[in-house]
Amino acid sequence: MKIGILTGGGDCPGLNPVIRAVVRTALREGFQMIGIQNGWKGLVDNETKPLDLSAVSGILHRGGTILGTSRTNPYKDKALLDKVRANYRTLGLDALIAIGGEDTLGVAARLFQEGFKVVGVPKTIDNDLSGTDFTFGFDTAVNIAMEAIDRLHTTAESHRRIMVVEVMGRHAGWIALYSGLAGGADLILIPETPIKMEEVTAVIRKRLERGKNFSIIVVAEGAKFDGAEAVLGTKLDEFGHVRLGGIGEMLANKIEETTGFETRVTVLGHIQRGGSATAFDRVLGTRFGAKAVELVKNGQFGQMAALKGNEITAIPIEAGTGKLKTVDPAFYEMARKFFG
Ligand code: F6P
């Protein structure tokens, strides 16, 4: 059996552990592995490379993806889609393993509906795919953000400042919630709950009353003032996403205006997507990769690996991509107990 593998969408630590696990378990089954480079773009342009044991040697600890990635959407242009269909056949693929988030796996689900034998592996630092308790990349991003928050405490205290930390999380505030709780943030703002300045100033005032003349506020890049996201320009990517950015600056300016406190902003950005994966993400990625090969071997196409509790299972790809997994209101309410 000849299996293709691709990584699409935003990269993250953990991708190479998945690729390594897929290749090593597939080769043990006597399958042949073809790496498709740069996400769906590689299938459009027939950019591939064979994957053998040496190709995946020494990549377990490496961030990013040895295959490269892109945000190419073949369903945006019939000519691209025709090339994908043709190259899938020209390459003689018996199956394709797509590693990605809502966009990449959304394409995989549509190809499956057309009759292509596709299996998915959920990937995103945002942890916003339904049907799986966690996606790999998320734990690493949270730890990177937590370490930054720990560092920001000392400078905030020394200068008696409000430090606003902007973290990634396009539509869901999982990174903000987890890193804020782990880092002891005094306020956590997520896309799921609109920012109310009175709540922000109340937290700062409450801390001042107990002698704390500094605060750490974690805000997700997708958080909104009066329903409006902070965006950088109007350009959309091929899946219709705007580039988010600026909410941290907006919030900091409003805080300074309202409270008079010196306020500074740290935007963690793509640092959250770089470097080596945590042990949790390496193990989860390895388990997901092995599951993907099992699904191919058993002919369970249109399915994606998923984590339920501590079990690796499989769900229909649409079940993972149809509706984003946003922060549970009860979880956020619990976090509120630690604000201020
Ligand atoms: O989807 C993961 C993610 O990191 C989001 O959190 C972020 O908004 C987006 O990707 C950034 O996309 P890009 O790397 O294309 O700028």
What pLDDT, on a 0 to 100 scale, did the predictor assign at position 271? 98
pLDDT-based confidence at 225, cuts 50/70/90?
confident
Domain assignment present for residue 178? The answer is yes
224 and 302, same structural domain? no
Write out pLDDT tens, residues 146-180.
999 999 999 999 999 999 999 999 999 999 999 99
**Bridge partner residues of 328 (DSSP):** none
Determine phi and psi for 183, rounding to 5 degrees: -95, 0
Write out pLDDT tens, residues 263-285.
999 999 999 999 999 999 999 99
Q: Among the atoms of ligand 1, which is closest to the Cα of residue 222?
A: 8
The ligand 1 site (C-beta within 6 Å) comprises 10, 71, 101, 124-126, 168-170, 221, 244, 273
Domain assignment present for residue 327? The answer is no
287 and 198, same structural domain? no
Q: Which domain holds residue 100?
A: 2-136+277-321
- Domain harbouring 310, CATH code: 3.40.50.450
Q: Among the atoms of ligand 1, which is closest to the Cα of residue 244?
A: 8
Write out pLDDT tens, residues 111-153.
999 999 999 999 999 999 999 999 999 999 999 999 999 999 9
Calculate how far, in angstroms, residue 269's C-alpha sits from the geometric centre of ligand 1: 9
Domain assignment present for residue 329? The answer is no
Residues 6+ apart with CB under 8 A from 259: 162, 201, 204, 205
Residue with CA closest to ligand 1 atom 14:
10
What does pLDDT average to over the chain? 97
Domain assignment present for residue 340? The answer is no
Ligand 1 mutation target, pool 273, 325, 326, most atoms within 8 A of CB:
273
Pick the catalytic residue from 11, 103, 126, 186. Answer: 126
pLDDT above 90: residue 90: yes
Angle of helix 15-28 relative to helix 279-297, nearest 10 degrees, comes to 40
Across residues 246-258, what is the average pLDDT?
Answer: 96
Domain assignment present for residue 95? The answer is yes
pLDDT-based confidence at 228, cuts 50/70/90?
confident
Calculate how far, in angstroms, residue 10's C-alpha sits from the geometric centre of ligand 1: 5
Residue with CA closest to ligand 1 atom 10:
10
pLDDT-based confidence at 182, cuts 50/70/90?
very high
Alpha-carbon distance of 46 to 37, in angstroms, equals 8
Q: Among the atoms of ligand 1, which is closest to the Cα of residue 175?
A: 6
Alpha-carbon distance of 153 to 315, in angstroms, equals 41
125 and 9, same structural domain? yes
The total number of structural domains in the chain stands at 2
- Percent share of the chain, pLDDT over 70: 100
Least confidently predicted of 122-126, 224-228, 315-319: 224-228
What pLDDT, on a 0 to 100 scale, did the predictor assign at position 247? 96
Alpha-carbon distance of 126 to 123, in angstroms, equals 9
Residue with CA closest to ligand 1 atom 13:
10
Alpha-carbon distance of 277 to 13, in angstroms, equals 5
225 and 183, same structural domain? yes
What pLDDT, on a 0 to 100 scale, did the predictor assign at position 283? 98
Calculate how far, in angstroms, residue 174's C-alpha sits from the geometric centre of ligand 1: 14
Domain assignment present for residue 180? The answer is yes
Q: Could you confirm whether 150 is annotated as catalytic?
A: no
What's the N-to-C CA distance of the chain in angstroms?
58
Domain assignment present for residue 336? The answer is no
pLDDT above 90: residue 88: yes
Across residues 63-83, what is the average pLDDT?
Answer: 98
Write out pLDDT tens, residues 7-46.
999 999 999 999 999 999 999 999 999 999 999 999 999 9
What pTM value is reported for the model?
Answer: 0.97
Calculate how far, in angstroms, residue 150's C-alpha sits from the geometric centre of ligand 1: 23
Are the C-beta atoms of 51 and 180 separated by less than 8 Å? no
Residue with CA closest to ligand 1 atom 11:
10
Ligand 1 mutation target, pool 7, 12, 69, 125, most atoms within 8 A of CB:
125
212 and 89, same structural domain? no
pLDDT above 90: residue 227: no
Sequence letter at residue 243: R
Calculate how far, in angstroms, residue 223's C-alpha sits from the geometric centre of ligand 1: 14
pLDDT above 90: residue 226: no
What pLDDT, on a 0 to 100 scale, did the predictor assign at position 24? 98
Calculate how far, in angstroms, residue 336's C-alpha sits from the geometric centre of ligand 1: 27
Are the C-beta atoms of 14 and 136 separated by less than 8 Å? yes
